[in-house]
Chain A
Amino acid sequence: MERLPILSLITFSPLVGAVILFLWGNASARAVRWIALVASGVSFALSLAMLLRFDPGRAGMQFTESFEWLPELGIAYRLGVDGISAPLVGLTTLLTLIAVIASWDPIRHRVREYYITLLLLATGMLGVFVSLDLFLFYVFWEIVLIPMALIIGIWGSANRVYAAVKFFLYTLAGSLLMLVGIVALYQEYFQQTGIRTLDVLELAQGTYSSTFQFWTFLAFFLAFAIKVPMWPFHTWLPDAHVEAPTAGSVILAGVLLKMGGYGFLRFNLPLFPEATQRWAPAIVVLSVIAILYGALMALVQRDFKKLVAYSSVSHMGFVTLGIFALNQQGLSGAMVVMLSHGFVTSALFLLVGVLYERAHTRELAAFGGLARNMPIFAAFFGFFALASLGLPGLSGFVGEFLTLLGGFRSYRWAGVLGTVVVILAAWYMLRVYQRVALVRAPGEPPDPDDPELRMAITQGVPPVAGGGDTDQHTPDPRTFPDVTWREALTLAPLALLTLWIGVYPLPVLDMIELSVRAILAAVTGESM
């Protein structure tokens, strides 16, 4: 059947935009933005069509495309999505679109280069999710690295070069290990069957010795663990997030981290079932550490973005916990957490960006009482903060509960320790919400009807000044205008999706279900 190569179209339409921008040397900033918008919009629309036509009743790959590329080496251009990658493709295109819109005003320098980089990044990310050939996958995996490092390193804030280099080297170290793993796997499969192939699905059919599995698993694992990032490979993340521009953070948190989780699901589990079982307890330990550690770190951050970044570490800990719990709830939950984290954390970064645009600082101490002059901002922020702390009815809860349930089923202690984080998450998220949106601006006196003022008058207790100690002089938060319609446009779809996943996650869960079941069957060796 001659079908539309929809996955290729999705993947490469941003690239087309990038090429147009590249060739059109003297495009005005306005034209550049519109071109980027159209390119990412087309990609998004196509991915929506793809998701709508996706058949959740089939476990295997759908919309597959394949043609030989380097047949002597067994390298082919193979694309396809299943229930695991399809939602992530949708997430990626959506966040790319949002990133394009979110960069509309904040990026004022080297606009054309910026959007070229962004679109290139989009193609790379989409390629990672749709490619079924290890070679292709690796290529896309590495393609992602460079634009992201550029975005951090060029359009970032003060310490950006350090962050960019750290991000680049850290993740590159991981992916090189993965390359070693890929080559080893390729060779091993060739020696066993005499077939040279890099087709993931075919490689998964092979049986490998346990020692081989053990080490190759490790090679793949490290690449993905750094990307996720798991404790203790997480230290690039706060730096990268803090220095990246808003859209960069959005993409980084929303999509790049998912590539790690996706890698586990797509490669580590089906390819090395035995090693997965052997490594799982250790990884679960790391995951639980990450969950708690990230939350504790978030508790003491003074930088808004760093706080969100550490909360990402915590959330991604749920993902790995769910995956290596190795049961249906855990895996499905991990997928939902990935999606949810994509929406929620991206939105939080957008919100930080909104503030940064106005205050040019991310110090929490510089803010306060924003709910009065920025009610829409406060509403969005509150919404996403609640989603982030796992309030039921919003997307965070579904995933977290499923992963914790999965973890609890497999490792009781892991579930218990992981659940502790619901307290910590509430604590740090509400703390920062109060800090930023509630009470009063720094230095602002209490309102006339405030009991604090009454206490001050009647008992001589001086009111606690709002805000905290900041080194630099920052603008008064009371003068900040509320979110612009464009900013609201980036936030609203994320809010709707967050609510949708929270209230009616069934379509997503159904989409994931069979694919996850197939992976589980591969790992545990049970039939479906």
Chain B
Amino acid sequence: MERTVDWLVVIPLAPLLAAVINFLFGKWWIRHRAHWIAVPAVGVSFLTSIVAAWTVLSRHERLHQPLYTWIRAGEFHVPVELVADQLTVVMLLVVTGVSFLVHVYSIGYMHHDPGYYRFFAWLPLFVFSMVMLVLANNFLVLFVFWEAVGLCSYLLIGFWFRRRSAAEAAKKAFVVNRIGDFGFALGIMLLFTSLRTLDYHAVFEAIPQLSSGTVTAIALLLFTGAIGKSAQLPLFVWLPDAMEGPTPVSALIHAATMVTAGIFMVARAHPIFLASPIALWVVAVIGALTAFVAATIATTQFDIKRVVAYSTVSQLGYMALALGVGAWIPAMFHLLTHAFFKALLFLGSGAVMHAMHDELDMRRMGGLKRWMPLTYWTFVIGAAANAGIVPLAGFWSKDEILVGAWVGGAPLLALVGLVAAFFTALYMFRAVFLTFHGQPRFDPHELHPHDPPATMAVPLVILAIGAAVTGFLGVPPETGWIHHALEPVFESATHHKVSLSLTLGMALASTLVALAGLWTAHAAYVRGTISPAAVAERLGPLYRLAANGWYFDVFYQRSVVRPLDAAANWLWRTVDVGIIDGAVNGSARIVALTAQMWRRLQTGLVANYALAIALGTVLLVGIYLAFGSTLFR
């Protein structure tokens, strides 16, 4: 079942080499030829992934390639091994596939940027990191590349480093991710202290030996990492800000691949979660809440990329919900479909921005359908897929999640999901209508929107096709291709028997909800029968809550950042300089004062010194005379 191969390393190595070459020689030599290195490299990686996937899926075997031992300290032993099982190859396909398309798209999109080579260094670096994350065989290596993708995210969000907003967003993304990593790292440490190993297989074997408390702790700590990376409540705040990066980055990292690392990790570690019902429950609740909260926020945003970003958060919430209720395969299925349609949506909005000269505010768009039909149609496909309109990809996967939640013992959460689905359709089509329909709210004489060039258009089309058809990988529900493919991975998980009626009922419900959202959006932004302003007015505080992202940022700023800064400042000025250093300098001063006192003995008069010498002589001789026989013998 397990086969050792030596070509698996090509998948990460090709993008790594591209990244290194572009980084080292890009600025002075390669410059605008950078894509000639990066794109083929990722292509190679993608092709190799296909080979790997074919091998794994058709032959039902795990591929395995040991590389080297990374750390060895006592019993702590961390080898770097590449392992490809079914879960991995699915992820590999998504990662390398979407990456390839985004790379191609970037050739056109980033063409005029002075940091072109840099972009084509960081992007393959990200591919490398993500691929390694997926291929890792133990938790520490997973963690390493977990952080590495975070780094790439930092580099790419802050790509336009001259913008304050971009720099701030990058920093925020990294630090917030680090909060999650803090938990993740602790989880790994606890895992190691409890089990003396970090290897997936060994860990999963040993899980039953642990007490339920420990397992819960481990699971929750690991999930903290996922919260950070996959932008779950309450750490999702970084993701919308991450839109300051170039749009291809948003598409690739902050929609399709990196943010799903958390989902992947939980899925990868499912034996641990399965051993802890509490942890699963927490995952599900956080997922559902995230889905709902992010959907409400998305509804109120005007920045097209932010809408899509919050949509991502919301969709990630769905996946987490799926994980929490034990619907592992639907979670991965949604991950897969989401990758396509979210990448599509981002690239589409990128095309819009491209055409609108970096305008992001939907209130200054409108009527773009006329000039950008290709973009329009692909965007609509993406939006519909996201909104879960039959028969596009999102419909199938989201439906499975809701079903899974229902049967997984959390009907309430399924209902929350449904509500969120309404908002999903609402904000998605709000974006479509505001952007492409109606009259242009800009001066068409100044701006001449047009469809993007081929390098950008081709990926859009391919992704649109993907967004349209990938859903059928999961058809029929419960027994689709994807289910068969991933079955071996999750064989230990319990399977709920799902009745056909439930499936159909849920499908109907979600379709209705989605259509309701679509109708509402149409009414509000096309027909104008509902005034969004009036609704916002009516809802008042609720609207403001959503529009301000539920005040998470404000809360963090007020309760964490500023108090910490103030406390540190106080510590520095009072404790460090005042008390500790004060004590040091104070003791020095005491010595100096004492010395000043002693100094008076130093009269400078030779006569006095001579007198002291003579006195000493007299005394010594006297002592010698008196006690000499006893003292000096």
A/B: CB atoms within 8 Å of each other = yes
Residues of A within 8 A of B (CB): 166, 169-170, 232, 234-236, 293, 296-297, 299-301, 327-329, 332-333, 369, 371-372, 375, 386, 391-393, 397-398, 401-402, 404-405, 408-409, 415-416, 419-420, 422-423, 426-427, 430-431, 434, 437-440, 446-447, 449-452, 463-464, 466, 503-506, 509-510, 513, 517
Report B-chain residues with C-beta under 8 Å of the C-beta of A434: 167-168, 171
Nearest B residue to A503, CB-CB: B70
Q: Give the chain A neighbours of B161 by CB distance below 8 A.
A: 371, 437-439
The 9 A-B residue pairs with the shortest CB-CB distance, nearest first, are A328-B74, A392-B144, A332-B73, A296-B568, A235-B581, A438-B161, A438-B167, A408-B189, A426-B178
Asked if B163 and A419 sit within 8 Å, CB to CB, the answer is no
Is the C-beta of B565 less than 8 angstroms from some C-beta in chain A? yes
Stretch at the interface among B57-65, B383-391, B524-532, B569-577: B569-577
Q: Which of B180-188, B320-328, B427-435, B610-618 contacts A (4 or more CB under 8 A)?
A: B180-188
Write the chain A residue with the least CB distance to B189. Answer: A408
Q: How far is the CA of A484 from the CA of B363 in the complex (A)?
A: 49
Contact yes or no, B72 A392, CB < 8 A: no
A-B contact pairs, 29 of them (CB 8 A): A169-B588, A234-B580, A296-B568, A296-B571, A297-B568, A300-B565, A393-B147, A397-B147, A402-B71, A408-B190, A409-B193, A415-B186, A423-B175, A423-B178, A423-B182, A426-B174, A426-B175, A431-B171, A439-B163, A446-B162, A446-B164, A450-B160, A450-B164, A451-B358, A452-B164, A466-B164, A504-B68, A505-B71, A506-B70
Cβ–Cβ contact B571 & A419, under 8 A: no
On whether the beta carbons of A438 and B162 are closer than 8 Å, the reply is yes
Would you call B584 and A297 a contact (CB within 8 A)?
no
**What is the bound-complex CA distance between A38 and B140, given in angstroms?**
43
The answer to whether A404 and B185 touch across the interface, beta carbons within 8 angstroms, is yes
CB-CB under 8 A from B145, the residues of chain A are 392
Residue A375 contacts which of B27, B185, B580 (CB distance < 8 angstroms)? Answer: B27
Cβ A513 vs Cβ B179 within 8 A: no
A468–B360 alpha-carbon span in the complex (Å): 30
Q: How far is the CA of A298 from the CA of B151 in the complex (A)?
A: 21
Query: Contact: A166 with B584, CB < 8 Å?
Result: yes
Q: How far is the CA of A293 from the CA of B580 in the complex (A)?
A: 12
* Given contacts A419-B185, A431-B171, A510 and B72 within 8 Å (CB-CB): yes
Q: Could you tell me the distance in whole angstroms from the C-beta of B176 to the nearest C-beta in chain A?
A: 9
Task: Indicate if the CB atoms of B148 and A393 lie closer than 8 Å.
Answer: yes
With most chain A CB atoms within 10 A of its CB, the pick from B75, B182, B192 is B182
Are B572 and A297 closer than 8 Å at their CB atoms? yes
CA separation between A522 and B492, bound complex, in Å? 46
The answer to whether B182 and A446 have CB atoms under 8 Å apart is no
Q: How far is the CB of B165 from chain A (nearest CB, A)?
A: 6
CA distance A419 to B143 in the complex (A): 14
State A293–B151 Cα separation when bound (angstroms). Answer: 25
**With A422-B182, A423-B175, A446-B163 in contact, is A405–B151 under 8 Å at CB?**
no
Residues of B546-596 whose CB lies within 8 A of A = 564-565, 567-569, 571-572, 576, 580-581, 584, 588
Partner of A392, one of B74, B148, B568: B148
* A170-B584 CB under 8 A given contacts A446-B163, A513-B72: yes
Chain B residue at minimal CB-CB distance from A407: B189
Chain B residues with Cβ below 8 Å from A234 are: 580
Q: Smallest distance from the beta carbon of B545 to chain A beta carbons, Å? A: 23
Residue of A nearest to B192 (CB): A405
- A392 near B147 with CB under 8 A, answer yes
Q: Across the interface, do B73 and A423 meet the contact criterion of CB distance under 8 Å?
A: no
C-alpha gap A438/B175 in the complex (Å): 17
Chain A residues, Cβ within 8 Å of B371: none
**Are A452 and B165 also in contact (CB < 8 A) when A329-B74, A392-B148, A405-B189 are?**
yes
A451 to B166, CA, bound (A): 10
Question: Quick one: CB contact mask for B152-163 with A, threshold 8 Å, 1 for yes?
Answer: 001000101111
Contact B73 A328 (CB under 8 A): yes
Of A296, A391, A504, the contact of B147 (CB 8 Å cutoff): A391
Chain B residues within an 8 Å CB radius of A402: 71, 73, 76
Q: Name the CB-closest residue of B to A332.
A: B73
Are B171 and A235 in contact, with the CB atoms below 8 A?
no
Which B residues lie within 8 Å of A451 (CB)?
A: 163, 165, 358, 360
| Residues of the A chain whose Cβ atoms lie less than 8 Å from the Cβ of B185 | 401, 404, 419, 422
Q: Does B603 contact A (CB under 8 A)?
A: no
Q: Are B162 and A440 in contact (CB under 8 A)?
A: yes
Q: How far is the CA of A440 from the CA of B166 in the complex (A)?
A: 12
Identify which of A166, A170, A430, A506 gathers the most chain B CB atoms within 10 Å of its CB: A430
Provide the main secondary structure of the chain B interface. Answer: helix
| B-side contacts of A297, CB under 8 Å | 568, 571-572, 576
| B164 and A439 contacting across the interface, CB-CB below 8 Å | yes
B69 CB within 8 Å of chain A: yes
User: How far is it, in angstroms, between the C-alpha of A509 and the C-alpha of B76 when the chains are bound?
Assistant: 11
Give B residues with C-beta under 8 Å from A.
Answer: 27, 68-76, 140, 143-145, 147-148, 151, 154, 158, 160-165, 167-168, 170-171, 174-175, 178-179, 181-182, 185-186, 189-190, 192-193, 358, 360, 564-565, 567-569, 571-572, 576, 580-581, 584, 588
CB-CB < 8 A to A450: which residues of B? Answer: 160, 162-164
Chain A hits for B154, CB < 8 A: 430
Given A232-B580, A235-B576, A450-B162, 4 new contacts (CB under 8 A) = A297-B568, A299-B568, A392-B148, A423-B179
**Chain A residues with CB below 8 A from B360, complex form:** 451
Tell me the minimal C-beta distance from A84 to chain B in angstroms.
14
Q: Evaluate contact between A452 and B71: CB separation under 8 angstroms.
A: no
Partner of B167, one of A423, A439, A446, A509: A439
CB-CB under 8 A from A301, the residues of chain B are 572
Quote the shortest CB–CB distance from A150 to chain B (angstroms): 20
Docked CA distance A328–B182 (Å): 22
Q: Smallest Cβ distance from A464 to chain B, in angstroms?
A: 6
Nearest B residue to A239 by beta-carbon distance? B581
Query: Which residues of B lie under 8 Å from residue A430 when comparing CB positions?
Result: 154, 170-171, 174-175
The verdict on A327 contacting B171 (CB below 8 Å), with A297-B576, A426-B178, A450-B162 known, is: no
Contact assessment for B175 and A398 in the assembled complex, using a CB-CB cutoff below 8 Å: no
> Which of B158, B162, B170, B584 lies at the interface centre, i.e. has the most chain A CB atoms within 10 A of its CB?
B162
Contact A513 B164 (CB under 8 A): no
Residue in A closest to B585 when the chains form the complex, CB atoms: A166
> How long is the Cα–Cα vector from A285 to B242 in the complex, in angstroms?
38
Q: Please give the distance in Å from A107's CB to the nearest CB on chain B.
A: 29
Cβ contacts under 8 Å, A431 to chain B: 171
B358 and A449 within 8 A (CB):
yes
Q: How far is the CA of A450 from the CA of B165 in the complex (A)?
A: 9
Chain A residues near B76 (CB-CB < 8 A): 328-329, 402, 405
How far is it, in angstroms, between the C-alpha of A464 and the C-alpha of B168 when the chains are bound?
Answer: 13
With the chains together, A506 CA to B67 CA distance in Å? 13
How many angstroms between the C-alpha atoms of A391 and B584 in the bound complex? 35
Q: Which residues of A contact B70 (CB under 8 A)?
A: 503-506
Instruction: Give CA–CA (A470, B306) in the complex, Å.
Output: 36
Nearest CB of A to B73, in Å:
4
**Most interface-central of A451, A464, A505 (chain B CB within 10 A):** A451
Tell me, rounded to whole Å, the shortest Cβ–Cβ distance linking A341 to chain B. 17
Residues on B with beta carbons closer than 8 Å to the beta carbon of A452:
163-165
Which A residues lie within 8 Å of B564 (CB)? 296, 299
Query: Are B71 and A393 in contact, CB atoms less than 8 angstroms apart?
Result: no
CB atoms of B186 and A235 under 8 A apart: no
Q: Are A398 and B71 in contact (CB under 8 A)?
A: yes
Q: Is the CB of B571 within 8 A of A372?
A: no
- A369 contacts across to B, CB distance below 8 A: 162
| Inter-chain contacts of A509 with B (CB < 8 A) | 71-73
Q: How far is the CB of A369 from chain B (nearest CB, A)?
A: 6
Min distance, Cβ B265 to any Cβ of chain A, angstroms: 15
Residues of A within 8 A of B68 (CB): 504, 506
Check if B171 sits within 8 Å of A392, measured CB to CB.
no
Determine how close the nearest CB of chain A comes to the CB of B31; give it in whole angstroms: 13
Asked if residues A419 and B186 are in contact (CB atoms below 8 Å), the reply is: yes
Known pairs A452-B165, A504-B70; A235 contacts B580 (CB<8 A): yes
Smallest beta-carbon distance A126→chain B, Å: 26
